[in-house]
Amino acid sequence: MKILLVEDDPKVTDSIQNMSSLQGIDCEVIDNGLDAYYQTRREDYDVIVIDIMLPEINGIDLLKQIRESGNNTPILMLTALSSVDNKVKSLDLGADDYMVKPVSAKEFFARIRALIRRNDTNTRDNRIIFSDIEYFPYKQQLFIKGKKLPITKRESMVLEILLRNSEQTVETETFIQAIWGRSVPKNNLEILIRNVRRLLEIGHSDTRIRNIRSVGYMLENKPF
């Protein structure tokens, strides 16, 4: 189990790291919101714990940026602020749980385990499989022939639409409205389609994205 703790109070970080070690949990600490955001783009975690009062980027803004990047890792907000408004705002922005400091070790790790169980259930329930492609929308994770490949938020939206409509033609306008919600140059979609095709090639997938002239695209198995 691996968690990211975003907290700038050494007393709190030392305490949680020591407790994590006793629980057999790998706890990585970052003391500011900006570095934490970039770290969440590079590494996967089972749970992210965020304090609201942070330097560089505060916890609320960090939470918002993480969710907007397409990262659905469970997030626990940990703060000394007991304001109901902060709690409501955090939950509305995508936090999964909220605790006010000081917290008991027993309750803290019980909540961590609960978030991981909930995430595992959501991940299993939302898995999409077609041929050798396995995609987990909840965590935005792509596997081809068992190998995990990096994928951006918009690329994942293209792939998910294709997977949910495999072997059916999806019109160009359907992609555009689902991804951008407004009219954009078709070249924007073509770039994303090309990127997803490249991922299929990198993974040596037995599938392909076929261009249906003047209509849209279709995900299908390659002909033998």
Reported as a pLDDT band with limits 50, 70 and 90, residue 123 is: low
Count the Cβ atoms, other than its own, within 10 Å of residue 99.
16
Assess whether pLDDT exceeds 70 at residue 120: no
Reported as a pLDDT band with limits 50, 70 and 90, residue 37 is: very high
**Cis geometry, peptide bond prior to residue 185 (ω within 30 degrees of 0):** no
Assess whether pLDDT exceeds 80 at residue 139: no
CATH numeric code, 128-221: 1.10.10.10
Q: Structurally, what CATH architecture does the domain formed by 2-125 represent? A: 3-Layer(aba) Sandwich (3.40)
Is there a contact between 118 and 138 (Cβ–Cβ < 8 Å)? Answer: no
* Domain boundary assignment for the chain: 2-125, 128-221
Cβ density class 140-163: b for 16+ within 10 Å, e for less: bbbbbeeeebebeebbbbbbbbbb
**Which residues neighbour 193 within 8 Å (Cβ) at sequence distance 6 or greater?**
158, 209, 217
Count the Cβ atoms, other than its own, within 10 Å of residue 168.
11
Model pTM greater than 0.75?
no
pLDDT (tens digit, 9 = 90+) per residue, 61-110? 999 888 887 788 889 998 776 666 666 777 777 888 888 888 888 888 88
